[in-house]
């Protein structure tokens, strides 16, 4: 049996994504691990945390939070970083709520 070993870690992928964000972009992160990694990356790069909304323990709510920020701040770009599993949780809540 053949197994493909990926060399790109989740944190490396997050770093690649963050490189393409602008300084004024609002970032909403979902799940504990992603939010913790985002916090650490911002800390290591000496970026501020004032533009980040980290939804630790708020699985399924990040898309609603990002939408609310986007509605209240139409002149700002809101970026939602969401892991695949949490994407399904977000869809589930949108369907049943």
Q: Where are the domains of the chain?
A: 24-96
Q: What is the pTM of this model?
A: 0.71
Tens digits of pLDDT across the chain (97 residues): 566 666 777 788 888 888 888 888 999 887 778 888 888 888 888 888 888 888 877 667 788 888 899 999 999 999 988 775 555 455 544 444 4
- Alpha-carbon gap, residue 6 to 26, rounded angstroms: 30
Q: Which residues are within 8 A (CB) of 86 and not within 5 positions of it... i.e. 6 or more apart?
A: 30, 31, 59, 60, 62
- What's phi and psi for 46, nearest 5 deg? 60, 35
């Amino acid at each position: 049996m053949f197994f493909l070993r990926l060399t790109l870690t989740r944190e490396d992928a997050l770093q690649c994504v963050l490189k393409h964000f602008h300084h004024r972009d609002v970032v909403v992160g979902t799940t504990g691990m992603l939010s913790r990694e985002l916090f650490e990356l911002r800390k290591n790069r000496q970026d501020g945390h004032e533009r980040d909304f980290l939804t630790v323990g708020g699985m399924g709510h990040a898309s609603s939070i990002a939408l609310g920020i986007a509605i209240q701040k139409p002149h700002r770009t809101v970026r939602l970083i969401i892991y695949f599993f949490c994407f399904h949780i977000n869809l589930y809540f949108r369907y049943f709520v």
